[in-house]
Structure 1
Amino acid sequence: MLRKTARRDRVLALFGAGVLLLNPPIVNLFSGYVFGVPALYLYFFGVWALVIGAIALICERGAGQAADGGRDTPPQ
């Protein structure tokens, strides 16, 4: 089971990575068009989707184990 502190640390690190990826010096690297869509829009939505997906994975990983009381072995 993923401890609460480890889960919190991972979510905070993911928040920091999101802030870094959406920082203006990084965002300014994306200009032009990709398949007729501005690359900046694709970058924003891509980072947004990855951050949400990663948070969902981190949070859901521990949720299934918390439902059974954190037991690693089945009840006897």
Structure 2
Amino acid sequence: MKPSGAQSRKAERLIALVAITLLLFCPPLIIVVDRLPSFSVGWLPLYLFIAWAVVIGLTAWLMEHRAGR
């Protein structure tokens, strides 16, 4: 059984991950990215893809990092 300190740290990290996700996908930031000057391709699809990949990667790292210990 895990000590309560490890569980609380994991819960804090998950809360931080949710906060980062909400910040990355908040409408004002998406509007700013959408209005960046573009040459041929808009920045919005690239931003959304990279932000979503970062969220998935951080989630996988957070969940698997603690499972091995």
- TM-based fold match above 0.5: yes
Specify the alignment match of 1:71 in structure 2: none
What is the root-mean-square deviation of aligned Cα atoms in Å?
2.0
Partner of 1:26: 29
User: 4+ residue runs of structure 1 moved beyond 4 angstroms?
Assistant: none
Equivalent runs, 1:1-76 vs 2, <5 Å: 3-31=6-34, 32-33=37-38, 36-65=40-69
Which is helix-richer, 1 or 2?
A: 2
The structure with the largest alpha-carbon Rg is 1
Deviations 1:11-45 (A, max 9, x none): 111111111111111111113446x4321011111
* Length, aligned pairs only: 64
Greater strand proportion: 1
Greater RCO structure (CA 8 Å; 6+ sep): 1
Percent sequence identity is: 33
1:61 CA displacement: 0.8
